[in-house]
Amino acid sequence: MKSRIYLLSLLLSVFILSSCSSKKGVEKLSVQGKDIVTESGKVIRLKGVSFSDPDKLATDGQWNLRYFQEAKDWGCNVVRFPVHPPRLNDRGWDEYFELLDQGVQWAEELGMYVIIDWHIIGNLSTEKWFLPIYITSYDETIKFWKRTAEHFKGNPTVAVYELYNEPTNQGGKLGELNWDILRGLHETMIDEINAIDNEKIFLVSGMNWGYYLDEVIGNPVKRKNVTYTTHPYPQKEAAPWEEKWEKSWGHVADTHPIIATEFGFMPESEPGAHMPCLGDETYGNAIMDYFDKKGISFTLWSFDPDWPPTLIRDWDFTPSTQGKFFKEVLSR
């Protein structure tokens, strides 16, 4: 009798362990009204960091579980992978997607979501770019998103596709670009992805280096599962900020989700200091208070000691000035 009870207890333990292990990872996300929600209906705010390019991190010997674990220990529930077209082409698409697979696996093990960001800056309509690191074409952009859609179909960890990092025509230097053109480009990309996988969230960027969303309410992207993004660095507006943020992009959060995928601050004394990133904790407190008030999700720039404004000073993950501030924010 005792042996039968022991056997039943052992079988029950095995069942419990297997049940727990099957629940690893994260729930699928979608957009519901002004919220991002899990498959079980829970409203979630995504809070995390933007990595540097996976190719750069691999070259530095830092594309590993330790790197992801550190982001998790800071309090992240999401990480952003910025993919630069020339790095993708130099490494080769197959090998680059192997890097993405590794990163997604580590994020899944740690219970974090992934944003894949096509990290281009310039005018996709005219195919003119701010710097060589962002050079791509419309056809290559569609090719990338179709391959990404096929590759990560059915994978809930890869929850968000940021379709076009920072649109800009540099005051006309890069050709004509306006919200109507930009909205059409985003809708085309969404259609190409949805034909393969219609269960991802799409991040749509606005004018002025991905900052303005002032035309969204009157002329929104007419697709499902759309969120909007802004990059509200300190000097995009003059302080005091809140009223200007509200007018430029914040009012959109009353009816649509927003994920601010790039922002941060740094003092002039830190390496690589540049506009529009110069600032201090006054800005940090203001932007965090505003995000909390509006329920806005975010990923900070950047979790790398070389790409300013940096969150870390070295590969021992010593926090920078903004890193100290935002690490405390993320750990709340």
Report the predicted TM-score, pTM, of the whole model to 2 decimal places. 0.93
Per-position DSSP letters for 252-272, written without gaps between them = GGGTS-BEE-----B-TTSTT
**Helix (H, G, I), strand (E, B), or coil: what is residue 213?**
coil
Quote the pLDDT of residue 25: 81
Q: What are the residue ranges of helices labelled H in the chain?
A: 2-21, 54-59, 65-74, 85-91, 93-109, 138-151, 179-194, 207-210, 242-248, 281-294, 321-330
Helix axes 138-151, 179-194, angle to 10 degrees: 40
pLDDT digits (tens, 9 = 90+) for 234-268: 999 999 999 999 999 999 999 999 999 999 999 99
Residues of the chain with pLDDT under 70: 1-24
Q: Which residue in 146, 284, 269, 261 sits closest to 211, CA to CA?
A: 261
Quote the pLDDT of residue 148: 98
**Domains, the chain, ranges and CATH?**
45-330 (3.20.20.80)
The C-alpha atoms of residue 261 and residue 182 are separated, in whole angstroms, by: 18
- b (16+ CB within 10 A) / e for 272-283: eeeebbbbeeeb
pLDDT digits (tens, 9 = 90+) for 146-170: 999 999 999 999 999 999 999 999 9
Tokens linked to 263: 């922002």
Quote the pLDDT of residue 213: 98
Quote the pLDDT of residue 24: 59
